[in-house]
A and B are shown apart, each in its own frame.
Chain A
């Protein structure tokens, strides 16, 4: 079945770049997503990448997809304290999204 794995914690200094990694198992994924969840809040779609792309850049966010290794990463440039949150990667194979457990990003001022 589908499975999405993420590291649980990441701590970076303000101004540095953050890289959050994700691996997935189902090679038939069509879209892969990154969501951000702030404490007590719902999910905010940050960005997504179609499976036939290798990279997508959106302002401070860069998504890299290595389809051969089934590896997805999210790079946040110039990380700010407001970026502190839980980041979920998710894949869509059939209709519902399959989520990883989330990576808690802590930004140290």
Chain B
């Protein structure tokens, strides 16, 4: 199946700093990428949807100035958590879908962010 690579898998940062998470589709062109957040023992919450070359669409309650999403190419989307706080500590997962792959969504391995 298609491969989506997410990097880094784990990151620890200090409060107030920014962290960038990358999501790459390795063998297909991802026209749409999704960013999810997962709190411990909870389900995935969709944060935003991004289409290549367009501004991301954020879900209600997600601060777009805090969670910056860039989808500049068909194989790369980035999520930048700006001015991170301990409450931003979470598991972030991206998924990607390409037009040539039907409606299947392929997921990255996830990034465990810990803000200290």
Contacts and interface: CB of A to CB of B under 8 A. Distances in A.
Given A97-B34, A99-B44, A102-B43, 15 more contacts: A31-B103, A41-B109, A42-B6, A42-B93, A43-B110, A44-B107, A45-B105, A88-B43, A95-B32, A95-B97, A96-B34, A96-B49, A97-B46, A99-B43, A101-B43
A57 interface: no
Interface residues of B, number: 22
A88 B105 CA distance: 13
A42 B49 contact: no
Interface of A is mostly: strand
A96 B56 CA distance: 13
B106 interface: yes
Nearest to A31: B103
A72 B55 CA distance: 35
Interface residues of A, number: 20
Given A95-B32, A95-B49, A42 B43 contact: no
Interface string A6-31: 00000000000000000000000011
17 contacts: A30-B103, A35-B107, A40-B91, A40-B112, A42-B108, A42-B109, A43-B107, A43-B110, A45-B1, A45-B106, A48-B104, A88-B43, A88-B44, A92-B105, A97-B46, A100-B43, A101-B43
B15 to A, nearest CB: 23
Contacts of B32: 95
A3 to B, nearest CB: 12
B42 A41 contact: no
Q: Which of B1, B42, B103, B109 has the most CB of A within 10 A?
A: B103
A48 B104 CA distance: 8
Contacts of A101: 42-43
Q: Which of A33, A41, A88 has the most CB of B within 10 A?
A: A41
A45 to B, nearest CB: 7
A30 B106 CA distance: 17
